[in-house]
Chain A
Amino acid sequence: MTGPTAPAPAVVSFRHADIGYEGRAVLHDLSLDITAGEVVGLLGPNGSGKSTLIRGLLGLAPILRGSVELFGIERSRFKAWQRVGYVPQRQTVVGGIPSTVREVVSSGRLTTVQPFRWMRAADKDAVAQAISAVGLTSEASSSMANLSGGQQRRVLIARALASAPEFLVLDEPTAGVDSFNQAALADTLAELAAAGTTILLITHELGPVEPLVTRTLVLRAGEICHDGPSSEAPDEHDDDWHHHHGDPPERSSGLGLSGLGT
């Protein structure tokens, strides 16, 4: 909950927003502020609208009604996309052509590189730093195809970090990732959060990132049914959601809403 007295400006602000595709709203009348420095876990069953929410804020899904603002600017007029880093859900980025870790991560730096110019030293440094932040420096010249799925995930995170964003949006960063890579990823996110990066992450289970999360949102059928500091116990709604949708028990316990310190 962002109190009205909170001095920090909203990083992202949804105002009575309907978001969806081809005129069909997936999210209804969504109002939500995320302020600087928050680490928000976005949970909910499949089809509840988690991905649509972040696609709406990134400009990948249309706002059908209401408004979405990034750093106080209406999304359609927002230009400073280097301030927002995005890690898509896709497991891999192995296209038809070989590409190295460095090449893929460099494509996250294009918002600051001028066309028809060489990359400046500062850009190369930023790319190298992003690769080092996910612990893949030794693989920087490796082909993406030679990495494990978990390592490829970390490359996508490095790509998002290459523009040194203030706001990082991750769609299921831990899904299908082995426990070693999950821990590596949690370390990276912990360092970013400590440095003040605002983080919004979609997840089925918080797992190793649980200690970082300062606020938990639960979506159900396109509406927010729980929004609170992650230390708060799950309320009736979450229980309800659990029973009605028959998620396996480990999923609901994976919400980890109890016993989370801030």
Chain B
Amino acid sequence: MLQYAFMRRALLAALMVGLTAPSVGVYLVQRRLALIGDGLGHVALTGVAVGLVTSTTPVLTALVAAVIGAVVVELIRAKGRTSGDVALAVLFYGGIAGGVVIVSQAPPGTTVNLDAYLFGAITTTTSGDLLVFLLLTVAVVLLTLGLGRYLFAVSNDEEYALASGLPVLRLNLLLAVATSVTVVVSMRVVGLLLISALMVIPIATAQLLTRSFRSTVVLATVLGTAASVLGVGASFYADTPSGGTIVLFAIAGFVVVVAAVAVRNRLRRDVSPAPR
């Protein structure tokens, strides 16, 4: 399959999604904001629609929409109002509603395949997309590595972080922007409705096997990359949408690890009446 240029591009895009999604997702899961990526995917759809209607690169317009969405979400959260949930619902469903309505206004003759944006497709990644994805991936990886300790502190205990004088709001905004960037990197091969799965499931799988935060991040990144690359490869041979295939691989990994851990625990219990 590597003789096809579109497949080489799709595999590279898959590699970048596999790297970025878990390294951002780990902080979202820790803060119990696991589904925020899903919401930002909805918002990005409006950006895609604007791009299609105005014949601008959809990746760039999606990036703008998702970043604005992320900042608004974070500011609403920082206000800590009880109406936060409602505000998020308005933003998220406004995003997807705006997306489908704006797309319907595309000039006649434009072929619009929303499915590819929502659920991923292997044939859609352009060389221009790859360049944008590469820049965004480098930015996200540098950010999460360089500020990892700070993001950990804020996600682990936000009140303590505030009391120790850390710039909590700025760190939260950075994480929100990194999340929206990851959503955009995912939009070709994983799709805007499925990216959140890749931010959450590899983390859930990894934490069954690890006891430190750092090893969780490393293992989740490996698992995410494996699911992503395998999913794109399988979708080539099976002719399936790549996003769905990737997520099914990630879930298969989760199920296998859950079963293995259960078996291991049973064996341990049988061998020694554990002190714990």
Contacts and interface: CB of A to CB of B under 8 A. Distances in A.
* B is bound to A: yes
Given A96-B29, A107-B156, A58 B212 contact: no
B211 to A, nearest CB: 4
A140 to B, nearest CB: 11
Contacts of A110: 149-150, 153, 164, 166
B164 A96 contact: no
A19 B180 CA distance: 38
B160 interface: yes
B157 A146 contact: no
A16 B103 CA distance: 60
A142 B210 CA distance: 11
Interface band, chain A: 35 or more
B147 A98 contact: no
Contacts of B211: 98, 100, 141-143, 145-146
Interface string A75-114: 0000101101010101001011111100110111011010
Contact of B162 (A60, A82, A90, A119): A60
A196 interface: no
A115 B147 contact: yes
Given A86-B160, A97-B213, A99-B213, A79 B207 contact: no
B146 interface: yes
Given A96-B30, A96-B32, A146-B276, A107 B216 contact: no
A59 interface: yes
Most B CB contacts (10 A, CB to CB) among A95, A106, A146 go to A95
Contact of A113 (B31, B149, B159, B214): B149
Contact of A106 (B149, B157, B163): B149
Nearest to B155: A95
A113 B149 CA distance: 9
Contacts of A90: 157
Of B29, B156, B166, B214, most A-chain CB atoms within 10 Å:
B156
Interface in A137-181: 141-143, 145-146, 159, 163
Contacts of B152: 99, 103, 107
Nearest to A78: B165
Interface in B118-150: 146-147, 149-150
Interface string A43-79: 0000000000000001110000000000000000001
Q: Which of B30, B157, B207 has the most CB of A within 10 A?
A: B157
B30 A59 contact: no
A147 B149 CA distance: 22
Given A98-B210, A146-B276, A59 B155 contact: no
Contacts of A143: 211-212
A88 B152 CA distance: 17
B157 A93 contact: yes
A97 B153 contact: no
B149 A60 contact: no
B26 interface: yes
B19 interface: no
Contacts of A111: 164-166
B203 interface: yes
Given A107-B149, A115-B146, A98 B207 contact: yes
B107 to A, nearest CB: 46
Given A96-B30, A98-B216, A107 B163 contact: no
Interface string B22-41: 00001001111000000000
A103 B214 contact: yes
A88 B159 contact: yes
Contacts of A59: 162-163, 165
A156 to B, nearest CB: 8
A84 B162 CA distance: 12
B212 A100 contact: yes
B175 to A, nearest CB: 14
A115 B151 CA distance: 11
**A79, A88, A110, A159 — which one has the most chain B CB atoms within 10 A of its CB?**
A110
Contacts of A142: 211
Given A86-B163, A96-B31, 6 more contacts: A82-B165, A96-B207, A98-B212, A99-B212, A103-B214, A107-B156
**Which 9 pairs of residues, A with B, have the shortest CB-CB distance?**
A81-B165, A143-B211, A107-B153, A116-B146, A99-B213, A58-B163, A100-B212, A86-B163, A97-B30
Interface of B: 26, 29-32, 146-147, 149-150, 152-153, 155-157, 159-166, 203, 207, 210-214, 216, 276
Interface of A: 58-60, 79, 81-82, 84, 86, 88, 90, 93, 95-100, 103-104, 106-108, 110-111, 113, 115-116, 119, 141-143, 145-146, 159, 163
5 contacts: A90-B157, A95-B31, A98-B216, A103-B152, A108-B164
